Structure 1
Amino acid sequence: MSAGHTAVTTPVPGEPVIVCETPQDECGVRDVLDRLGDKWSVYVVVELTSGIRRFKELQRAIPGNISQRMLTLTVRRLERDGLVKRTVYPTVPPQVEYELTEMGHSLTHLVKALADWSIAHRPAIAASHAAWDAAHPGATTTA
Structure 2
Amino acid sequence: MVATFSELRALPGMDDTLLTAGCPTRVVLDHVTSRWGVLVVLSLTNGTHRWSELRRAVDGISEKMLASTLRQLQADGLVDRVAHPVIPPHVEYSLTSRGEELAGVLLPLVEWSARHSAEILASA
Task: State the TM-score, normalizing by the size of structure 2.
Answer: 0.80
Residue 99 of structure 2 is matched in structure 1 by 104
Q: Give the partner amino acid of 1:51.
A: G
Residue 3 of structure 1 is matched in structure 2 by none
Cα distance, 1:102 vs structure 2: 0.4
Q: Distance in 2 between matches of 1:54 and 1:120?
A: 30
| Structure 1 residues not aligned, in runs of 5+ | 1-8, 130-143
| Structure 2 residues not aligned, in runs of 5+ | none
Cα distance, 1:94 vs structure 2: 1.6
Q: Distance in 2 between matches of 1:116 and 1:122?
A: 10
Q: Does 1:94 align with 2:89?
A: yes
Structure 1 residues 120 and 61: CA distance shift in structure 2, 3 A = closer
Residue 21 of structure 1 is matched in structure 2 by 15
Secondary structure of 2:46's counterpart equals coil
Structure with the bigger RCO (C-alpha within 8 Å, sep 6+) is 2
The percentage of aligned residue pairs carrying the same residue is 40
**Number of residue-to-residue matches in the alignment:** 116
Query: Which one has the largest radius of gyration?
Result: 1
Structure holding more helix per residue:
2
Runs of 4+ aligned structure 1 residues displaced above 3 Å come to: 15-18
Structure 1 residues 94 and 16: CA distance shift in structure 2, 3 A = same
Residue 44 of structure 1 is matched in structure 2 by 40
Q: Distance in 2 between matches of 1:49 and 1:128?
A: 32
C-alpha RMSD of matched pairs (Å):
2.1
- Does the aligned pair in 1 maintain the 2:77–2:98 contact within 8 Å? yes
Q: Distance in 2 between matches of 1:119 and 1:61?
A: 17
Write the mapping of 1:32-71 to structure 2, written as runs, cut at 5 A: 32-64=28-60, 66-71=61-66
Q: Give the partner amino acid of 2:107.
A: K
Cα distance, 1:38 vs structure 2: 2.1
Residue 121 of structure 1 is matched in structure 2 by 116
Secondary structure of 2:53's counterpart equals helix
Cα distance, 1:16 vs structure 2: 4.1
